Amino acid sequence: MAANPVPVVETRSAERGTEQPAPPAGEKGTPAVPRGLPLFARLFLLILVCTLPPLMWLGLEMMNANEVALTETVRHQHRSIVWSVQRTVRGELARVEQDLEDVSNILFRPGPSDDAKRYALAGSRVAVLRDIDFVTLYAPSGQSITTVKAEEVPDPRVPSRLEPALLDALRASNGQLVVQGVHANAQGEPLLDVFFPIVRDGGSMRAVLGTQVKLRELCKVIGNFGEQFLGSRENVFVVDRERRLVLHADPARVAAREDLSRHGLFSALSGDSSFRTDMVAISDFQLDGVEMLGSLEVLSERGWAVAVYQPQSVVYASLSTMRRTILKVLVLSALVALVAGLLGARLLTWPIRDLMAATRALAERTFRGVGERVTRRGDELGALGRAFDSMALTLEAKEREVVTQTQVRAALSRYLSPDVVDLVVSNPDQLRLGGERREVTILFADVVGFTKLSESQPPETIVALLNELFTFATEIIQRRGGIIDKFIGDCVMAVWGSPQSHPDDALRAVQAAEDLRRWLDVGNRRWRARWGIEIQLAIGIHTGPAVAGNVGSEKRMEYTVIGDTVNVAARIESMAQPGQILVSEATRERIGDSGVELVPAGERQLHGRTAATRIFEVPL
């Protein structure tokens, strides 16, 4: 094909005012474009821009994900330590409770009544216990009775009478061990005061056993947990509700009842200060200027809390190594992306020109292909070109189809209801004469005294009034699921049950009639103010079988319903007074107990029918 002649465009120079020729034309007669970066460079930069940011984002996400995973791992580790401490403490207290129960069985089991023998046997049992040196027996009133122990154990210092609050707690414990608190003996060893109620079969308290549990071994176990899992014996401890140490790797600190209420872990966490409700928490805090990560879990049955913590520098020590590794991977990925961009830009430059030209044509709604230079290629670009050609053909066909359907819908929506329009457009094969038998509900709404109104008003006023009336009537009927079958002068015929049916079509029709009557009050106020006129509607409703479908000829047809049901509905409407809604017995039966009030209006003899028809009225 010969090239088009080069056009000459007159331009005015701002400085000289001379005429300058237009730039030379490009290939195939297309105007030359301003000089800039070549397509190769642009594509290369595009590949880098599309590759490097995702790689950077991926690296950052990997860092964040690993940090979150590491934090979660530490959290699970802390929970595991806390659970182990809780299990150990509960096991130790359960063992103490079992030991005291064994002593109580010796003291109160049936057998010899000699108290001295019982006390001696109980003392022998106490002598073999690991962490208990003595047991004191108290009466239910709290008065001390005796203390049983091994002979070599010095007499302990125990209260001669128990406090009333402690006695109340023992009675409410249901026979469970009650932990009173921690104190130190003369040697500075931490001891835990515990009391065990001995309960009769009837539930009353028979006596109380009190003792002091040595905590040194348990503190050693707690320290071993911290050393094994956290690298420090100091980082695991148990406190009571007053934030005072109960268990710690250093027994001296427990014996001193060290107050940890100002510990950074408790200031960073919130919760029940009494430790009587279950609570699990993890938080960052500072301890002596060092950033820490700590966890706390409540031992609610004792009012204690188990706490563990670690320096964040230890917790996140592996993050620095991980970040360096990820940065190396990112740099390597960037180099690979650079080489790929160079090669990809070189391979894709010239076929992309044709694709861009075809894309511009497509944007201008010119559905043409990309040419043989691209489609005859055997690689992915060739497949893309062939797919582009196929897409252009498909888009052209779809555009014609959409335009056709839009035109059809726009035209039909002025004459038919939305349901009928959808039926016609979605199923064009149904555009043939014929119908099907269906149960429908027919509503006729007629303007009363329309002839006299037409004589007293200009035709323009009558048309405007009817248009406004029919507009709102259509909206009300369609909102209630019905369709407008036709407008007959000043009368509206509506149908429920065709082409779509619902179980409550009869109820919908009656509700639509009520809506019409209510809306007419608003319309009359407007028409009275505008033209000085009012209108009233007479409405009749009937339910029964009818044939719904296309009626007419092959050249002109109408979707409607035909049958005796339509005639009966029209007859009922003709008997209605202004503002009255009359409903047939068949419609009333379909409505059932739906809450709509219907008042019997007697039996009426309809024109053209031998049998009388029972009529009901919808009251105002």
Q: What's the rounded Cα separation, in Å, for the pair 90 and 263? A: 25
pLDDT mean over 102-112: 81
Residue 568 CB partners (closer than 8 Å, separation 6+):
442, 542, 544, 584, 606, 609, 613
For residue 17, is pLDDT > 70? no
- The DSSP secondary-structure symbol of 161 reads B
pLDDT of 347: 64
Residue with tokens 């790929």: 340
Mean pLDDT score, 573-591: 93
**Is 350 or 615 the better-scoring residue by pLDDT?**
615
Query: What Cα–Cα distance (Å) separates residue 132 from each residue in 122, 127, 254?
Result: 13, 8, 18
Rounded Cα–Cα distance for residues 148 and 157 (Å): 13
Q: Is the model more confident about 357 or about 570?
A: 570
What is the C-alpha to C-alpha distance for residues 129 and 135, in angstroms, rounded to an integer? 11
Q: What is the model's pLDDT at position 434?
A: 67
What pairing do the DSSP bridges indicate for beta strands 581-584 and 537-552? parallel
The DSSP line for 528-572 is: HHHTS----EEEEEEEEEEEEEEEE-SSSEEEEEESHHHHHHHHH
Residue 130 has pLDDT above 90, yes or no: no
Which amino acid, 534? Answer: E
pLDDT of residue 110: 75
Given a cut of 70, is residue 455 above it in pLDDT?
yes
Higher per-residue confidence, 401 vs 111: 401
> DSSP assignment, residue 14?
T
What does the pLDDT read at residue 173? 87
The answer on pLDDT for 12 being more than 80 is no
Name 549's bridge partners: 435, 560
Is residue 3 very low, low, confident or very high in pLDDT (cuts 50, 70, 90)? very low
CB-based contacts of 585: which residues, under 8 Å, 6+ apart?
A: 613, 614, 615, 616
| C-alpha distances in Å from residue 270, one per residue of 263, 341, 548 | 13, 54, 72
Whether 326 contacts 33, CB under 8 Å: no
Q: How confident is the model at residue 13 (pLDDT cuts 50, 70, 90)?
A: very low
- Rounded-to-integer distance, Cα 351 and Cα 310, Å: 61
Q: How confident is the model at residue 448 (pLDDT cuts 50, 70, 90)?
A: very high
Token reading at 194 = 């515990």
Q: Is the pLDDT of residue 601 over 50?
A: yes
Give the pLDDT band (50/70/90) at residue 154. confident
Q: How many CB atoms lie within 10 A of CB 6?
A: 13
> pLDDT per residue over 334-353, tens digit each?
778 777 777 766 666 667 67
As a whole number of angstroms, the distance between CA 470 and CA 8 comes to 63
In eight-state DSSP terms, residue 163 is -
Burial (0-12, 13-18, 19+ Cβ within 10 Å), 81: buried
Angle made by CA atoms 581, 586, 588, in degrees to the nearest 5: 55
Q: Would you tell me how many other CB atoms lie within 10 Å of the CB of residue 397?
A: 11
C-alpha 435/C-alpha 562 separation (Å) is 10
pLDDT tops 50 at residue 422: yes
Stretch 316-326: mean pLDDT: 76
- pLDDT surpassing 60 at residue 33: no
Domains of the chain from N-terminus onward? 426-617 (3.30.70.1230)
Q: Which pLDDT band, with edges at 50, 70 and 90, does 220 fall under?
A: very high
Instruction: Retrieve residue 161's tokens.
Output: 């009478």
CA distance 312 to 590: 75
CB neighbours of 524 closer than 8 A, spacing ≥ 6? 534, 535
Predicted pLDDT of residue 20: 43
Distances (CA, A) of 430 to 202, 496, 553, 554: 87, 20, 14, 12
User: Would you place residue 526 in the very low, low, confident or very high pLDDT band (cuts 50, 70, 90)?
Assistant: very high
Q: Round to whole Å and give the CA distance between 413 and 420.
A: 9
pLDDT bracket for residue 5 (50, 70, 90): very low
If one compares 446 and 272, the residue with the highest pLDDT of the two is 446
Q: Give the pLDDT of residue 585.
A: 93
Q: Predicted confidence band at 137 (pLDDT cuts at 50, 70, 90)?
A: very high
Q: Which pLDDT score, from 0 to 100, does residue 430 have?
A: 52
- Kindly indicate the confidence band of residue 40, based on its pLDDT and cuts at 50, 70 and 90: low
**What's the alpha-carbon Rg for the chain, to the nearest Å?**
48
pLDDT in tens, 177-189: 999 889 888 888 9
pLDDT, one tens digit per residue, over 302-315 is: 888 999 988 888 87
- Mean pLDDT score, 465-484: 93
Q: Tokens representing 311?
A: 């320096």
Range in 206-210, 255-259, 371-375, 542-546 with the lowest mean pLDDT: 371-375
d(CA 10, CA 399): 40
What tokens appear for 559 in the block?
Answer: 């979707």
pTM summary value: 0.47
478, 512 contact by CB (below 8 A):
no
251 or 36, which is more confident: 251
Q: Which of 87-101, 142-156, 330-344 is predicted least confidently?
A: 330-344
pLDDT for residue 456: 86
Residue 368 in 3-state DSSP?
A: coil
| Distances, alpha carbon 434 to alpha carbons 154, 177, 490, 548, 563, in Å | 114, 90, 28, 8, 14
Instruction: List the single range of 83-92, 361-370, 394-403, 543-552 with lowest mean pLDDT.
Output: 361-370
Instruction: Give the pLDDT band (50/70/90) at residue 6.
Output: very low
> Mean pLDDT across the chain, nearest whole number?
81
Q: What are phi and psi of 244, to 5 degrees?
A: -105, 145
User: In this model, does residue 373 exceed pLDDT 70?
Assistant: no
Mean pLDDT across the stretch 485-506? 91
CA 111-113-114 angle, 5° bins: 120
How many CA atoms within 13 Å lie on the side-chain side of 74?
A: 26
Q: Report pLDDT for 25.
A: 44
